[in-house]
Protein backbone atom coordinates (compact mmCIF):
# COMPACT_ATOMS: atom_id res chain seq x y z
CA UNK A 1 0.00 0.00 0.00
CA UNK A 2 0.95 3.60 -0.34
CA UNK A 3 3.66 4.59 2.14
CA UNK A 4 1.71 7.57 3.45
CA UNK A 5 -0.49 5.08 5.25
CA UNK A 6 2.44 4.05 7.38
CA UNK A 7 4.18 7.39 7.82
CA UNK A 8 3.25 7.33 11.50
CA UNK A 9 6.34 5.27 12.21
CA UNK A 10 8.55 8.20 11.31
CA UNK A 11 7.69 9.42 14.81
CA UNK A 12 9.98 6.71 16.15
CA UNK A 13 13.03 8.34 14.62
CA UNK A 14 12.21 11.92 15.66
CA UNK A 15 10.88 11.84 19.20
CA UNK A 16 13.63 13.88 20.82
CA UNK A 17 14.93 17.39 20.42
CA UNK A 18 18.43 18.58 21.05
CA UNK A 19 18.79 21.19 23.73
CA UNK A 20 20.71 24.20 22.49
CA UNK A 21 21.49 27.51 24.22
CA UNK A 22 19.74 30.57 22.94
CA UNK A 23 22.42 32.67 21.26
CA UNK A 24 22.49 35.36 18.66
CA UNK A 25 22.27 39.08 18.26
CA UNK A 26 19.38 39.43 20.67
CA UNK A 27 21.23 37.75 23.55
CA UNK A 28 24.58 39.38 24.15
CA UNK A 29 25.03 38.42 27.78
CA UNK A 30 24.30 35.49 30.09
CA UNK A 31 21.67 37.53 31.89
CA UNK A 32 19.78 37.89 28.63
CA UNK A 33 19.80 34.16 28.11
CA UNK A 34 18.19 33.67 31.49
CA UNK A 35 15.24 35.79 30.35
CA UNK A 36 13.90 34.04 27.26
CA UNK A 37 11.51 35.77 24.93
CA UNK A 38 7.92 34.55 25.10
CA UNK A 39 8.03 34.12 21.32
CA UNK A 40 10.85 31.57 21.41
CA UNK A 41 10.72 28.03 22.84
CA UNK A 42 12.89 27.17 25.79
CA UNK A 43 14.35 23.81 26.71
CA UNK A 44 11.48 23.31 29.14
CA UNK A 45 9.09 23.09 26.21
CA UNK A 46 11.13 20.52 24.37
CA UNK A 47 10.72 16.78 24.62
CA UNK A 48 13.17 14.85 26.86
CA UNK A 49 16.36 13.59 25.36
CA UNK A 50 17.02 9.97 24.38
CA UNK A 51 13.44 8.73 24.30
CA UNK A 52 13.68 5.29 22.77
CA UNK A 53 10.55 3.87 21.20
CA UNK A 54 10.18 0.12 21.68
CA UNK A 55 7.74 -2.34 20.12
CA UNK A 56 5.99 -5.14 22.03
CA UNK A 57 6.28 -7.56 19.06
CA UNK A 58 3.30 -9.47 20.47
CA UNK A 59 1.15 -9.88 23.53
CA UNK A 60 -2.59 -9.56 24.06
CA UNK A 61 -2.91 -5.86 23.27
CA UNK A 62 -0.79 -6.07 20.13
CA UNK A 63 -2.72 -8.99 18.68
CA UNK A 64 -6.04 -7.37 19.53
CA UNK A 65 -4.90 -4.43 17.42
CA UNK A 66 -4.21 -6.91 14.61
CA UNK A 67 -7.74 -8.28 15.08
CA UNK A 68 -9.19 -4.78 14.89
CA UNK A 69 -7.15 -4.06 11.76
CA UNK A 70 -8.31 -7.37 10.27
CA UNK A 71 -11.94 -6.33 10.77
CA UNK A 72 -11.27 -2.88 9.35
CA UNK A 73 -9.61 -4.33 6.25
CA UNK A 74 -12.43 -6.85 5.84
CA UNK A 75 -14.86 -3.92 5.79
CA UNK A 76 -12.82 -1.85 3.33
CA UNK A 77 -10.81 -4.15 1.06
CA UNK A 78 -13.53 -6.79 1.36
CA UNK A 79 -15.96 -4.44 -0.40
CA UNK A 80 -13.20 -3.46 -2.84
CA UNK A 81 -12.68 -7.14 -3.70
CA UNK A 82 -16.44 -7.67 -4.14
CA UNK A 83 -16.82 -4.99 -6.81
CA UNK A 84 -17.25 -7.66 -9.47
CA UNK A 85 -20.60 -8.69 -7.97
CA UNK A 86 -21.78 -5.09 -7.88
CA UNK A 87 -20.73 -4.64 -11.52
CA UNK A 88 -22.78 -7.65 -12.64
CA UNK A 89 -25.98 -6.53 -10.92
CA UNK A 90 -25.64 -2.87 -11.87
CA UNK A 91 -24.85 -3.58 -15.53
CA UNK A 92 -27.27 -6.48 -16.04
CA UNK A 93 -30.24 -5.55 -13.84
CA UNK A 94 -30.27 -1.98 -12.49
CA UNK A 95 -28.83 -0.07 -15.48
CA UNK A 96 -28.96 -2.49 -18.42
CA UNK A 97 -29.26 0.34 -20.95
CA UNK A 98 -26.11 2.15 -19.82
CA UNK A 99 -22.98 1.74 -21.92
CA UNK A 100 -19.89 -0.04 -20.64
CA UNK A 101 -17.85 3.17 -20.67
CA UNK A 102 -20.50 4.97 -18.62
CA UNK A 103 -20.64 2.19 -16.05
CA UNK A 104 -16.86 2.04 -15.96
CA UNK A 105 -16.80 5.49 -14.35
CA UNK A 106 -18.63 4.10 -11.31
CA UNK A 107 -15.90 1.61 -10.50
CA UNK A 108 -12.89 3.62 -11.66
CA UNK A 109 -14.03 6.57 -9.51
CA UNK A 110 -14.52 4.22 -6.56
CA UNK A 111 -10.98 2.84 -6.90
CA UNK A 112 -9.52 6.33 -7.33
CA UNK A 113 -11.30 7.75 -4.29
CA UNK A 114 -10.38 4.69 -2.23
CA UNK A 115 -6.66 5.26 -2.76
CA UNK A 116 -6.24 8.99 -3.32
CA UNK A 117 -7.87 9.92 -0.01
CA UNK A 118 -5.00 8.17 1.72
CA UNK A 119 -2.79 11.14 0.81
CA UNK A 120 -4.66 13.18 3.41
CA UNK A 121 -5.76 10.41 5.76
CA UNK A 122 -2.18 9.22 6.36
CA UNK A 123 -0.89 12.51 7.83
CA UNK A 124 -4.12 12.90 9.77
CA UNK A 125 -3.52 9.48 11.32
CA UNK A 126 -0.02 10.59 12.32
CA UNK A 127 -1.41 13.69 14.03
CA UNK A 128 -4.60 12.33 15.60
CA UNK A 129 -4.40 8.55 15.84
CA UNK A 130 -6.77 5.99 14.29
CA UNK A 131 -10.00 6.06 16.30
CA UNK A 132 -11.67 9.22 14.95
CA UNK A 133 -10.79 8.22 11.39
CA UNK A 134 -12.20 4.71 11.78
CA UNK A 135 -15.42 6.08 13.28
CA UNK A 136 -15.75 8.48 10.34
CA UNK A 137 -15.02 5.61 7.94
CA UNK A 138 -17.69 3.47 9.59
CA UNK A 139 -20.29 6.21 9.19
CA UNK A 140 -19.39 6.89 5.54
CA UNK A 141 -19.29 3.20 4.63
CA UNK A 142 -22.64 2.39 6.22
CA UNK A 143 -24.34 5.43 4.67
CA UNK A 144 -22.90 4.49 1.28
CA UNK A 145 -23.90 0.82 1.47
CA UNK A 146 -27.42 1.39 2.77
CA UNK A 147 -28.14 4.14 0.25
CA UNK A 148 -26.75 1.89 -2.50
CA UNK A 149 -29.38 -0.69 -1.59
CA UNK A 150 -32.16 1.74 -2.60
CA UNK A 151 -30.38 3.41 -5.55
CA UNK A 152 -31.93 3.00 -8.98
CA UNK A 153 -30.43 5.90 -10.97
CA UNK A 154 -26.91 6.34 -12.24
CA UNK A 155 -26.15 9.45 -10.18
CA UNK A 156 -27.48 7.76 -7.05
CA UNK A 157 -25.19 4.76 -7.51
CA UNK A 158 -22.25 7.03 -8.29
CA UNK A 159 -22.74 9.13 -5.15
CA UNK A 160 -23.49 6.24 -2.80
CA UNK A 161 -20.91 3.72 -4.01
CA UNK A 162 -18.17 5.61 -5.87
CA UNK A 163 -17.98 8.62 -3.55
CA UNK A 164 -19.43 7.81 -0.13
CA UNK A 165 -18.37 4.15 0.09
CA UNK A 166 -15.02 5.01 -1.51
CA UNK A 167 -14.29 7.64 1.13
CA UNK A 168 -15.45 5.29 3.90
CA UNK A 169 -13.24 2.46 2.64
CA UNK A 170 -10.22 4.75 2.55
CA UNK A 171 -10.91 6.01 6.08
CA UNK A 172 -11.01 2.41 7.30
CA UNK A 173 -8.10 1.13 5.24
CA UNK A 174 -5.35 3.61 6.09
CA UNK A 175 -5.64 3.67 9.93
CA UNK A 176 -6.08 -0.11 10.04
CA UNK A 177 -2.77 -0.53 8.25
CA UNK A 178 -0.98 2.16 10.22
CA UNK A 179 -1.91 1.13 13.76
CA UNK A 180 -0.45 -2.38 13.33
CA UNK A 181 2.94 -0.81 12.65
CA UNK A 182 2.85 0.87 16.08
CA UNK A 183 3.04 -2.51 17.82
CA UNK A 184 5.50 -4.48 15.69
CA UNK A 185 8.94 -3.85 14.21
CA UNK A 186 10.76 -7.15 13.65
CA UNK A 187 7.47 -9.00 13.03
CA UNK A 188 5.72 -6.13 11.28
CA UNK A 189 5.50 -7.87 7.93
CA UNK A 190 3.94 -10.96 9.50
CA UNK A 191 1.44 -8.96 11.57
CA UNK A 192 0.49 -6.78 8.61
CA UNK A 193 0.09 -9.87 6.43
CA UNK A 194 -2.28 -11.44 8.94
CA UNK A 195 -4.31 -8.23 9.09
CA UNK A 196 -4.43 -8.09 5.29
CA UNK A 197 -6.02 -11.53 5.18
CA UNK A 198 -9.18 -9.63 6.13
CA UNK A 199 -9.34 -8.09 2.67
CA UNK A 200 -9.18 -11.51 1.02
CA UNK A 201 -11.61 -12.99 3.55
CA UNK A 202 -14.15 -10.27 2.77
CA UNK A 203 -13.60 -10.97 -0.91
CA UNK A 204 -14.59 -14.59 -0.26
CA UNK A 205 -17.43 -14.01 2.19
CA UNK A 206 -19.32 -11.19 0.49
CA UNK A 207 -19.52 -12.71 -3.04
CA UNK A 208 -20.73 -16.03 -1.65
CA UNK A 209 -23.29 -14.20 0.49
CA UNK A 210 -24.49 -12.31 -2.57
CA UNK A 211 -24.68 -15.54 -4.58
CA UNK A 212 -26.92 -17.07 -1.94
CA UNK A 213 -29.04 -14.01 -1.14
CA UNK A 214 -29.70 -12.54 -4.59
CA UNK A 215 -32.08 -15.29 -5.82
CA UNK A 216 -33.96 -15.27 -2.49
CA UNK A 217 -34.27 -11.66 -1.34
CA UNK A 218 -33.06 -9.61 -4.31
CA UNK A 219 -30.50 -6.84 -4.63
CA UNK A 220 -31.78 -4.44 -1.95
CA UNK A 221 -31.85 -6.78 1.00
CA UNK A 222 -28.65 -8.54 -0.08
CA UNK A 223 -26.81 -5.24 0.23
CA UNK A 224 -28.52 -4.44 3.55
CA UNK A 225 -27.46 -7.78 5.04
CA UNK A 226 -23.87 -6.97 4.06
CA UNK A 227 -24.36 -3.53 5.60
CA UNK A 228 -25.35 -5.02 8.96
CA UNK A 229 -22.31 -7.30 8.85
CA UNK A 230 -20.11 -4.29 8.12
CA UNK A 231 -21.58 -2.59 11.18
CA UNK A 232 -20.38 -5.44 13.41
CA UNK A 233 -16.94 -5.57 11.81
CA UNK A 234 -16.47 -1.81 12.06
CA UNK A 235 -17.54 -1.83 15.72
CA UNK A 236 -14.80 -4.36 16.48
CA UNK A 237 -12.29 -2.27 14.54
CA UNK A 238 -13.19 0.89 16.47
CA UNK A 239 -12.85 -1.00 19.75
CA UNK A 240 -9.42 -2.54 19.23
CA UNK A 241 -7.54 -0.33 16.76
CA UNK A 242 -5.40 2.14 18.67
CA UNK A 243 -2.00 3.74 18.38
CA UNK A 244 0.79 3.36 20.92
CA UNK A 245 3.63 5.65 19.88
CA UNK A 246 3.15 9.16 21.37
CA UNK A 247 2.06 11.84 18.93
CA UNK A 248 4.87 14.10 17.78
CA UNK A 249 3.38 17.30 19.27
CA UNK A 250 0.89 15.83 21.73
CA UNK A 251 -1.82 18.24 22.82
CA UNK A 252 -0.26 21.02 20.74
CA UNK A 253 -1.20 19.33 17.47
CA UNK A 254 -2.95 21.70 15.05
CA UNK A 255 -4.67 21.27 11.72
CA UNK A 256 -1.42 22.19 9.96
CA UNK A 257 0.12 18.98 11.28
CA UNK A 258 -2.45 16.97 9.31
CA UNK A 259 -1.33 18.33 5.93
CA UNK A 260 0.63 16.04 3.58
CA UNK A 261 4.39 16.62 3.46
CA UNK A 262 5.91 16.11 0.02
CA UNK A 263 9.39 16.03 1.57
CA UNK A 264 8.98 12.34 2.43
CA UNK A 265 9.66 11.63 -1.25
CA UNK A 266 12.88 13.67 -1.28
CA UNK A 267 15.22 10.99 0.02
CA UNK A 268 17.90 11.73 -2.56
CA UNK A 269 17.40 8.49 -4.49
CA UNK A 270 13.78 8.70 -5.66
CA UNK A 271 13.19 5.20 -4.27
CA UNK A 272 10.26 6.24 -2.09
CA UNK A 273 8.53 8.10 -4.92
CA UNK A 274 8.98 5.23 -7.37
CA UNK A 275 7.80 2.68 -4.81
CA UNK A 276 4.69 4.73 -4.06
CA UNK A 277 3.85 5.08 -7.76
CA UNK A 278 4.46 1.38 -8.35
CA UNK A 279 2.24 0.27 -5.49
CA UNK A 280 -0.55 2.62 -6.60
CA UNK A 281 -0.46 1.39 -10.20
CA UNK A 282 -0.35 -2.24 -9.03
CA UNK A 283 -3.43 -1.76 -6.86
CA UNK A 284 -5.33 -0.06 -9.68
CA UNK A 285 -4.34 -2.79 -12.16
CA UNK A 286 -5.41 -5.48 -9.70
CA UNK A 287 -8.85 -3.87 -9.56
CA UNK A 288 -9.57 -4.65 -13.24
CA UNK A 289 -9.87 -8.47 -13.02
CA UNK A 290 -11.57 -8.19 -9.63
CA UNK A 291 -14.27 -6.03 -11.20
CA UNK A 292 -14.87 -7.77 -14.53
CA UNK A 293 -14.20 -11.50 -13.97
CA UNK A 294 -17.83 -12.39 -13.01
CA UNK A 295 -19.30 -10.37 -15.88
CA UNK A 296 -16.85 -11.94 -18.32
CA UNK A 297 -17.91 -15.43 -17.24
CA UNK A 298 -21.60 -14.63 -17.63
CA UNK A 299 -21.03 -13.24 -21.12
CA UNK A 300 -18.93 -16.23 -22.17
CA UNK A 301 -21.67 -18.59 -20.98
CA UNK A 302 -24.27 -16.58 -22.96
CA UNK A 303 -26.46 -16.13 -19.90
CA UNK A 304 -29.27 -13.60 -20.12
CA UNK A 305 -29.55 -10.54 -17.92
CA UNK A 306 -32.36 -12.20 -15.95
CA UNK A 307 -30.13 -15.18 -15.17
CA UNK A 308 -27.49 -12.90 -13.59
CA UNK A 309 -29.36 -13.14 -10.27
CA UNK A 310 -30.16 -16.86 -10.40
CA UNK A 311 -28.26 -20.05 -9.70
CA UNK A 312 -27.22 -20.27 -13.35
CA UNK A 313 -24.58 -17.60 -12.76
CA UNK A 314 -23.47 -18.92 -9.38
CA UNK A 315 -20.02 -19.89 -10.63
CA UNK A 316 -19.37 -16.29 -11.71
CA UNK A 317 -19.48 -15.23 -8.06
CA UNK A 318 -17.57 -18.30 -6.97
CA UNK A 319 -14.75 -17.38 -9.35
CA UNK A 320 -14.36 -14.11 -7.49
CA UNK A 321 -14.32 -15.95 -4.17
CA UNK A 322 -11.68 -18.39 -5.47
CA UNK A 323 -9.50 -15.53 -6.66
CA UNK A 324 -9.63 -13.85 -3.26
CA UNK A 325 -9.19 -17.13 -1.36
CA UNK A 326 -5.89 -17.73 -3.15
CA UNK A 327 -4.50 -14.52 -1.67
CA UNK A 328 -5.61 -15.55 1.82
CA UNK A 329 -3.97 -18.98 1.68
CA UNK A 330 -0.63 -18.14 0.12
CA UNK A 331 0.06 -14.49 -0.50
CA UNK A 332 -0.23 -12.21 2.52
CA UNK A 333 1.24 -14.21 5.43
CA UNK A 334 4.15 -15.79 3.55
CA UNK A 335 5.40 -12.91 1.42
CA UNK A 336 4.70 -10.24 4.02
CA UNK A 337 6.89 -12.13 6.50
CA UNK A 338 9.68 -12.43 3.93
CA UNK A 339 9.39 -8.72 3.16
CA UNK A 340 9.89 -7.81 6.81
CA UNK A 341 13.09 -9.89 6.79
CA UNK A 342 14.56 -8.61 3.52
CA UNK A 343 13.68 -4.91 3.37
CA UNK A 344 11.22 -2.23 4.44
CA UNK A 345 10.80 1.54 4.46
CA UNK A 346 8.89 1.69 7.74
pLDDT (tens place) for every residue of the chain, 346 residues total = 444 444 443 333 343 333 333 334 333 444 444 444 444 443 334 334 345 667 778 788 899 999 999 999 999 999 999 999 999 999 988 999 999 899 999 999 999 999 889 888 888 888 888 999 999 999 999 999 999 999 999 999 999 999 999 999 999 998 998 888 888 888 888 888 889 899 999 999 999 999 899 888 989 999 999 999 999 999 999 999 988 776 666 666 666 667 777 777 777 787 878 888 888 788 778 888 889 989 988 888 888 877 777 777 888 888 899 988 887 775 555 555 455 545 454 4
pLDDT in the model for residue 255: 61
Q: Is residue 307 part of a domain?
A: yes
pLDDT computed for residue 48 by the predictor: 40
d(CA 222, CA 317): 14
Residue 329 Cα distances to 136, 197, 228, angstroms: 31, 8, 27
Tell whether 279 is covered by a domain: yes
Q: Quote the number of domains for the chain.
A: 1
In a domain, 26, yes or no: no
Please report whether residue 116 resides in a domain.
Answer: yes
CB 55 within 8 A of CB 190: no
Residue 268's pLDDT is what? 72
Instruction: Give pLDDT, residue 23.
Output: 39
Tell me which residue range forms the domain holding 305: 60-244+269-342
Q: What is the pLDDT of residue 52?
A: 65
143 in a domain, yes or no? yes
Residues sharing a CB contact under 8 Å with residue 6, sequence separation 6 or more, in sequence order: 122, 177, 178, 181, 345, 346
199 domain residue, yes or no: yes
Domain holding 200: CATH number? 1.20.1250.20
* pTM of full prediction above 0.85: no
Distance CA 37, CA 176 (A): 43
Cβ atoms within 10 Å, residue 11: 16
pLDDT on residue 224:
96
Burial label for 257, CB within 10 Å (0-12, 13-18, 19+), is middle
Position 182 in a domain: yes
* Ramachandran bin of 302, using left for φ above 0, alpha for ψ from -120 to 50, beta for the remaining angles: left
In a domain, 53, yes or no: no
SS3 233: helix
Q: Give 34's contacts (C-beta < 8 A, 6+ positions apart).
A: none
Amino acid sequence: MAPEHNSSLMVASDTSYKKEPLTGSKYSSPSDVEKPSPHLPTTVDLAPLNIEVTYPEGGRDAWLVVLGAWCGLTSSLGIYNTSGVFEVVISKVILPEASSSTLGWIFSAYAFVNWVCGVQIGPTFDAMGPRALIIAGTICTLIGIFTLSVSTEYYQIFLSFSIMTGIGSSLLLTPSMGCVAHWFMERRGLASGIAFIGGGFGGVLFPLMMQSLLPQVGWGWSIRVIGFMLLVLCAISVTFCRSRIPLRKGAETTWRDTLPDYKIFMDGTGAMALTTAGVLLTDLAYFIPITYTPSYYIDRQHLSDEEALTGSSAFAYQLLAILNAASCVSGYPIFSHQTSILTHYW
